[in-house]
């Protein structure tokens, strides 16, 4: 796991999760004892090593997907601190995950854990993280905003300016609304759950929003021409992403077309 010091007592940790060819980078952030996301079960040993000897005030999970909650059960047992999660996902977290093979190979199964109700903000000695509802990638997704430092911890909302596929839980329309809301906030740096530290974050989100709006316009135009959603998908995305093929549609461009 690669560890980068961002500020005094603030670290970014990046590890690669999965078995070839099902691999993906995962990023965790520990800021003054507040852990943002808990990685996957596949990198649990690395996460344990990263947190060894460190002070943990609490953990905040941007959403319940297994690549962000893999160490949650261990954290509750080891540190006995709050592990915050959106209220609507607490029941799901209380059961072991049951996931398709490709997701198991990439991220591994998440163990059940007792999540704590997400507060309006989390405050440490140095920082205050405001919790902002941010549906899009998941209906019950949140981001954490540290206004005084211009930081926003975005989980899976950003990933990159141009999106290749959308997950079955995802709504591009919700993402558009959330990004428009985030652009009213004061921030410059994105701390992404997979892409790591992204400078000029506000501009990057503007560019992502513009790409989504262009996609929406294209879909609406083709629908007016009488094309079905499946035909629109083939027209706009003739080449299929590996994740769309191995996931049998859980990840797909069609999910983008359907929800934009």
Segments in 35-100 forming alpha helices (H): 44-51, 66-69, 72-79, 90-93
User: Average pLDDT over the chain, rounded to whole?
Assistant: 97
Same domain, 19 and 4: yes
Q: What is the pLDDT of residue 5?
A: 95
Q: How far apart are CA 186 and CA 189, in angstroms?
A: 10
Q: Is residue 243 over pLDDT 90?
A: no
Q: What is the pLDDT of residue 15?
A: 96
Single out the residue in 91, 126, 161 at which a domain terminates.
126
Single out the residue in 76, 111, 126 at which a domain terminates.
126
Same domain, 137 and 259: yes
| Residue 122 bridge partners (DSSP) | 129
Same domain, 68 and 191: no
Q: What is the pLDDT of residue 93?
A: 98
Q: Is residue 79 over pLDDT 90?
A: yes
First-to-last alpha carbon distance for the chain, in angstroms, is 36
**Beta carbons of 122 and 116 less than 8 angstroms apart:** no
Q: What is the pLDDT of residue 53?
A: 93
pTM to 2 decimals?
0.96
Same domain, 48 and 109: yes
Q: What percent of the chain has pLDDT over 70?
A: 100
Same domain, 197 and 255: yes
Q: How far apart are CA 83 and CA 36, in angstroms?
A: 10
Single out the residue in 126, 158, 189 at which a domain terminates.
126
Same domain, 101 and 5: yes
Q: pLDDT digit string (tens) for 171-221?
A: 999 999 999 999 999 999 999 999 999 999 999 999 999 999 999 999 999
Range list of β-strands (E), 134-211: 142-146, 151-155, 166-167, 189-192, 196-198
Q: What is the pLDDT of residue 130?
A: 98
Same domain, 146 and 119: no
Q: What is the pLDDT of residue 186?
A: 97
Q: pLDDT digit string (tens) for 90-142?
A: 999 999 999 999 999 999 999 999 999 999 999 999 999 999 999 999 999 99
Q: How far apart are CA 118 and CA 155, in angstroms?
A: 15
Q: What is the pLDDT of residue 125?
A: 96
Same domain, 72 and 154: no
Q: What is the CATH number of the domain that holds 178?
A: 3.60.15.10
Collapsing DSSP states into helix, strand and coil, what is residue 27?
strand
Same domain, 2 and 113: yes
Mean pLDDT along residues 157-174 = 96
Same domain, 169 and 72: no
Same domain, 180 and 140: yes
Same domain, 101 and 153: no
Domain count, the chain: 2
Q: What is the pLDDT of residue 240?
A: 82
Domain assignment of residue 14, given as a range: 1-126
Q: What is the pLDDT of residue 198?
A: 98
Q: What is the pLDDT of residue 241?
A: 82
Q: Is residue 44 over pLDDT 90?
A: yes
Q: What is the pLDDT of residue 163?
A: 92
């Amino acid at each position: 796991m690669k560890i980068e010091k961002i500020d005094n007592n603030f670290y970014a940790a990046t590890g690669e999760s999965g078995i070839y060819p099902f691999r993906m980078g995962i990023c965790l952030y520990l800021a003054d004892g507040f852990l943002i996301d808990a990685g996957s079960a596949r990198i649990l040993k690395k996460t344990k090593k990263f947190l060894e000897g460190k002070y943990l005030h609490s953990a905040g999970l941007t959403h319940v997907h297994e690549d962000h909650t893999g160490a949650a059960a261990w954290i509750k047992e080891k540190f006995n601190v709050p592990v915050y999660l959106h209220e609507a996902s607490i029941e799901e977290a209380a059961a072991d995950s049951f996931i398709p093979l490709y997701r198991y190979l990439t991220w591994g199964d998440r163990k059940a854990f007792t999540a704590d109700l997400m507060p309006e903000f989390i405050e440490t000695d140095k920082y205050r993280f405001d919790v902002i509802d941010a549906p899009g990638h998941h209906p019950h997704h949140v981001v954490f905003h540290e206004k005084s430092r211009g930081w926003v911890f975005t989980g899976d909302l950003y990933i990159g300016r141009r999106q290749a596929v959308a997950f079955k839980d995802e709504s591009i329309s919700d993402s558009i609304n959330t990004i428009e809301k985030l652009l009213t906030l004061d921030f410059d740096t994105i701390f992404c759950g997979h892409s790591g530290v992204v400078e000029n974050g506000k501009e990057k989100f503007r560019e992502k929003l513009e790409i989504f709006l262009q996609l929406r316009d294209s879909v609406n135009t083709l629908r007016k021409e009488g094309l079905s959603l499946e035909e629109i998908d083939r027209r706009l995305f003739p080449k299929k992403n590996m994740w769309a093929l191995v996931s049998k549609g859980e990840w797909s461009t069609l999910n983008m077309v359907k929800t934009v």
